[in-house]
Structure 1
Amino acid sequence: MLEGLIEKIIFASRWLLAPLYLGLALALVPILFRFFDAFWHMITHLTDLTTGEVTLEVLELLDTVLLANLIIIVLFAGYENFVSKMAIAEGSEDRPHWMGHVDFSGLKIKLIGSLVAISVIELLKDFMQEGTYDAKREGWRIGIHMTFVVSGVLFALMDMMADRHKSQR
């Protein structure tokens, strides 16, 4: 009887994550503001910007969109994997095809892929900027980017090995 009560409490504790996912949803508001602020700045200064500067501005917008996508991936996959299925999305034609199919392993791969994409955009922005070049800073950024890339490859290899191990059973 005590064991059943403990298990009910532990199982119900997953709902403690729900406010965290709600917080992630709310984190999209400042990202949305930042996107349109950067977009407005680009549009209002378009005649003063060089092609390279426009490219940098667009890369900034892409960076913001990728961050928002990352939040949505974590929000949907995390909520469905750890809290509860989203019944409201079951019959919706707008439901993302991956929703409900991304397990914790797939979530890790999607996260690292998003981080690599964000990191490469940041590197590209750095290399396109005119002015002083800080080799030490850029070296660190490249090192961090390569750490993301290697981590992603290792995660994928570990998942592949785990899948093979499961299929051999």
Structure 2
Amino acid sequence: MRRMSDGVEAALHSALVLAGLPRGKVLAGKSLAELHGVSGSYLLKHLRALAAASLIEAVPGPRGGYRLARAPERITLLDLVEAIDGPEPAFVCREIRRRGPGKAKDPCVYKTDCFIKTRMLAAEQAWRSALRGQTLQDLVTDGERLIDEHNKAAVARFVAAEQR
């Protein structure tokens, strides 16, 4: 399938951190950027996209920041990917079969969809379905099981000190 933008990775990691915040707390975009070692302006662009998609909330003010807009089990990985990269199909058929020396003179030859397009769109549907079937809560569960205790503790200390 298509190559997802780097923003998808930043969005997934940021959403995962926000999923661990205590109820009513927020984390500044600057803090999320520092935690992930990315520039604040870069991450802010992606946080705005997540907020525009109603996946996170931006709380304004000097004590403001970001938090999830809904429970992690109600946010799919497809929601997060599409918020950053958009819902447009990865494969776009340009009907190149109708060009060049092999093109058919009779337009009736092209009444059915290109079989390459059909297979590519079916593969994309399978990819989207797989992402739709996984949630942010699944990532939380994976993190609890797979992230080593030292790393968990370091992130927890950072988030506790930075949350508002």
Q: Above 0.5 in TM-score? A: no
Higher RCO (CA < 8 A, seq sep 6+): 2
TM (normalized to structure 2)?
0.31
The normalised TM-score by structure 1 is 0.31
Tell me which protein shows more helix as a share of its residues.
1
Name whichever structure is richer in strand by fraction.
2
